[in-house]
Amino acid sequence: MFFKILDISRIVLVSIAFYFGYQIGFAEEVYNAKAQLHFMIPIIIGAVAGISGLEGIFFSKKSAVEKGFTVDHNYQKQSAIALLSYATIAIWVYFAQWGIMAELTILFAFLFFFFFAAINHAYDAISRKNYKWQNINRPFITLILILGLIYPLMMLFKGLK
pLDDT of residue 57: 85
Q: What value does the mean pLDDT of the chain take?
A: 89
Per the structure, the count of domains in the chain is 1
Of 37-46, 54-63, 68-77, give the lowest mean pLDDT range.
68-77
pLDDT in tens, 4-46: 788 889 999 999 999 999 999 999 999 999 999 999 999 999 9
Does the pTM of the predicted model rise above 0.85?
Answer: yes
76 close to 53: Cβ distance less than 8 angstroms: no
Residue 99: left if φ>0, alpha if ψ -120 to 50, beta else—which one?
left
| Domain of residue 132, residue span | 2-160
Q: How many CB atoms lie within 10 A of CB 71?
A: 11
The rounded distance, in Å, linking the Cα atoms of 37 and 103 is 8
The 8 Å CB, 24+ separation contacts for 17-22 are: 17/43, 17/44, 17/47, 18/148, 21/152
pLDDT in tens, 119-149: 988 998 888 887 877 777 889 999 999 999 9
pLDDT of residue 70: 64
Asked if pLDDT for residue 85 goes beyond 80, the answer is: yes
How far does CA 20 lie from the centroid of its chain? 17
pLDDT band, residue 76 (cuts 50/70/90): confident
Average pLDDT over residues 47-55: 93
